[in-house]
Amino acid sequence: MWQLKKEKNKPVYQQIVELILGYIDQGRLLPGEKIPSERKLAELLTVNRTTIVHALDELVSMGVIVRKRGSGTVINDGKWGVYRGSTIDWRHYLSKGNTIKTHEYNKKAHRILANRVEVLDVYSGDLPLGLVPELDLPTISWKEFLNEEKKQDSYGYFPLRQLIVERLNETNKLSLDVPNLMLTPGAQQALLLLVQVLLNNGDALAIEEPSSFYQLFIFQAAGIRVYGIPVDKEGMRVDVLEEKILKNRIKMVLVNPNYQNPTGTTMSLKRRKELISICRKYQLPIVEDDVFGELYFDEESRPPLLKKMDPENVIYIGSFSKILGATTKIGWLSGPVKVIEKVAKIRSDLDLNMSIFPQVLAYNALENKTYESQMSDLRLVLFEKMTDLTVRLDEKLKDEVSYYVPEGGCYLWLTFKNVKITTTDYDLLLTQGVIVTPGFVLGAGPQSLRINFSRLIPEQSVILVDVLTEMIRKKIASN
């Protein structure tokens, strides 16, 4: 395995770095796997030990390997802080949407979802079809569609932009103008275009830990270091954030403050003020991901958006995908006009113009007279599903698990308190047709899991809690 084809015009240490990176990409070196000692590697690759030390130092600085006292050197089993240099074909990934590197567990889950009829699926991130608002398609001719296309520019379909701005201003007390907002085919493209505008190769980005953004390998592929900041019941820990800013030179902060994915937490008003203060102090932009923003349970208790509190320093991302379905592919990005102009130019340069069809459909959905009442019904159903699940958890597992009661969204983050959970336990759940989202695919450990309670009916909540109870019972018995 350890063979080095030496190239004349490239430093040997760099060739060794590329060799190890290649083995990782090919799956020949796995996360957590120990690599040979410096002396042994020098023998295997027929180079001097100094060259090996230089190569390994480089891999440590990239976050690819970790030196553990008493255990040797191992392949990093997470992505936090990993730097791989810029290798991304932006046009390919932004147009195809290939932004998530699939974990082995996810592959198994997808295979089961595709091949088994009866599964208990609290893994999928979307609302079940039965909860998606029922909205009639507009009666519109082909020529009318073509005519509507004339109302679209590099920022998107103007009537939809105007309508979204009006809604955001009304519901969140913002003061946006249409030039402050552009449309994107989903929140992910908005984020990835922002990376191109605001960050450079080698810069560092802070996100919550755990986070659904942990799965976006494109940050590392674009040469961006990603650092996780722990989340507690009040949201991102800004004390830890400041430590990371000073130590790792963070250049941008990405947060999901409302019904965070996966923990379901809502950032407190106090924590929001602290976050804004820290980012002002170090002159860092905040990207506020609010794709779950409309799925609140109590409108009166909603804290103000970060965008409301600091409009010039916060870039706001929203989406219809969590409400109208993932295939809708309509999101938006709101920020200072100069930022929006730069993002629109990059997208235009990459020839990534949006289709007029989903934009017209989304506009008609928002204009539908029943949209608001259906959204109210949806929030009530989600609250009832969440309440039903938490009641059943308290009845059977009150002393065995902990969780935070979300104030909106569709996710509950459950942590096992008294037994050690491993990846094998999740594989056993898969064999029973019970599919959850383990913490290890979201940047946390296997002790926690995410449940999409929107996909549960009462009978399934009973089954899920019973299955988890039995798993805990067996773990205790085996110890």
Tens-digit pLDDT profile for residues 10-49 = 889 989 998 998 887 666 787 778 999 999 999 999 999 9
Q: List phi, psi (to 5°) of 314.
A: -110, 130
Q: What is the per-residue pLDDT across 230-258, written as a single tens digit (0 to 9) for each?
A: 999 999 999 999 999 998 889 999 999 99
pLDDT at 335 over 70: yes
Q: Which two tokens stand for residue 148?
A: 């509507």
pLDDT at 85 over 90: no
- Nearest residue to 128 (alpha-carbon basis) of 386, 291, 412, 322: 322
Using alpha carbons, list the distances in angstroms from residue 24 to 28, 71, 75, 165: 6, 20, 8, 45
Cis ω before 31 (30° cut-off from 0): no
What does the pLDDT read at residue 151? 94
Q: What is the per-residue pLDDT across 268-314, written as a single tens digit (0 to 9) for each?
A: 999 999 999 999 999 999 999 999 999 999 999 899 999 999 999 99
What does the pLDDT read at residue 104? 86
Spatial distance between the Cα atoms of 317 and 315, rounded to a whole number of angstroms: 7
What does the pLDDT read at residue 86? 47
Using alpha carbons, list the distances in angstroms from residue 9 to 13, 15, 20, 59: 12, 10, 19, 21
The 10 Å Cβ neighbour count of residue 447 is: 16
Contact 209, 229 (CB under 8 A): yes
How is the chain split into domains, by residue range?
12-75, 104-128+373-478, 137-367
Q: What is the per-residue pLDDT across 404-453, written as a single tens digit (0 to 9) for each?
A: 999 999 999 999 999 999 999 999 999 999 999 999 999 898 999 999 99
What does the pLDDT read at residue 185? 87
| pTM (2 d.p.) | 0.81
pLDDT at 179 over 50: yes
What does the pLDDT read at residue 130? 92
* Superfamily for the 104-128+373-478 domain: Aspartate Aminotransferase, domain 1 (3.90.1150.10)
Q: 12-75: which CATH topology? A: Arc Repressor Mutant, subunit A (1.10.10)
Spatial distance between the Cα atoms of 469 and 362, rounded to a whole number of angstroms: 43
Spatial distance between the Cα atoms of 64 and 77, rounded to a whole number of angstroms: 9
Using alpha carbons, list the distances in angstroms from residue 468 to 106, 210, 446: 20, 22, 14
The 10 Å Cβ neighbour count of residue 145 is: 13
Looking at 2.30.30.110, 1.20.1250.20, 3.40.640.10, 3.40.50.300, the CATH number of the domain 137-367 comes to 3.40.640.10
- Nearest residue to 210 (alpha-carbon basis) of 417, 420, 468, 438: 438
Q: Which two tokens stand for residue 27?
A: 């799956």
pLDDT at 84 over 70: no
What does the pLDDT read at residue 87? 45
Ranges 83-92, 188-197, 280-289, most confident:
280-289
Spatial distance between the Cα atoms of 444 and 426, rounded to a whole number of angstroms: 14
